[in-house]
Structure 1
Amino acid sequence: MTEHLWSYSTESGHLAGTDLTGWRVEAADGHIGKVDKHSDEVDDSYLVVDTGVWIFGKEVLIPASAVTRVDLERHAILLGLSREQVKDAPEFVSEKHLADLRYREELSQYYRPDGPFPGGTGAL
């Protein structure tokens, strides 16, 4: 992941302003869903991924730093997270996302390299 949790790495190939809605999302070990919403805000970039039936329709918020590559030709987002890490991520709660600092801290704690999932994907 990048130095800042809520920013895309320059190596990801992300182009600000690109509408990622509906794009396929791939974890390091397979397909996990599609982009339902996203943000390109400076220091607040993220994806909301609809995991569909794979984990019973759960939506998860994934920080931009988890994106390892944006494949513009295939309309696919590749993550540096495993399917298990996404499955175990806190559920996206739209009412809390921007306003609830405790919720944001919970997300930050989960996605940090030494967070609760095994094998963090890099230093923040």
Structure 2
Amino acid sequence: MQPVPFVPWVWRDPSWMDEPVPDESRPGDAELARRPDTGLIGYEVEATDGSIGKIDEDNAKVPNDCLMISTGPWIFGRTVVLPVGTVRRVDHNERKVYVDRTKEQIKNAPEYDPDNHEDYRRRTGEYYTESYRAMPPML
């Protein structure tokens, strides 16, 4: 039996996105309905070995199958984009997103390039797919 391949661009459990249903009659809520990840802006992001930063307020600049993370000083304020497939769970009470990769794995990911979206997305997908082949998720 073949193992199920890792798909970096898909939430592994959509119930993690359980947020109140937006009221599409209010300005801005229609966009939120299309972008459930924007409800995570400001959440802390925890790697398997500690905090890596927060979900950036510019998260809407990347596709909704990614999370833009502002890493702060631990890697000199670098902005990284994580595929949503790296998310292990979301704790809405604590406002934290837990990912199943280490700080080092995230630090070594391809650098975000807003000017070359297709190439960046391909390289990021390949990087994380190989990451999961080498080290399956720690659940």
TM category, shorter: 0.7 to 0.9
- In structure 2, do the counterparts of structure 1 residues 117 and 29 end up closer, same or farther at CA, with 3 Å as the change threshold? farther
Contact kept, 8 Å, 2:16 with 2:89, in 1: the verdict is yes
Q: 1:12-91 residue pairs with structure 2 within 5 A?
A: 13-15=16-18, 17=36, 19-36=39-56, 37-38=58-59, 45-91=65-111
| 1:111 partner SS | helix
Choose between structure 1 and 2 for higher RCO, CA contacts under 8 A separated by at least 6 residues. Answer: 1
How many residue pairs align between the two structures? 116
Aligned to 1:121: 137
More helix per residue? 2
Alignment RMSD, CA only? 2.9
Distance 2:102 2:12 in 1: 18
Rounded Cα–Cα distance in structure 1 between residues aligned with 2:6 and 2:127: 16
Work out whether 1:94 is the aligned partner of 2:114.
Answer: yes
Identity between Structure 1 and Structure 2 (%): 32
- Which portions of structure 1, spanning 4 or more consecutive aligned residues, are displaced by more than 6 angstroms? none
Q: 1:61 to 1:12 in 2, by over 3 A?
A: farther
- The TM-score normalised by the length of structure 1 is 0.78
**Partners of 1:118 and 1:82 in 2: how far apart?**
13
- More strand by proportion, 1 or 2? 1
Cα shift readout 1:3-39 (whole Å, capped 9, x = no counterpart) = 5311111166223725111110000110000001446
Which segments of 5 or more consecutive residues in structure 2 lack a partner in the other structure? 19-34
In structure 1, list runs of 5 or more residues that go unmatched. none
How far off is 1:56 after superposition?
A: 0.6
Q: Helix, strand or coil for the counterpart of 1:95? A: coil
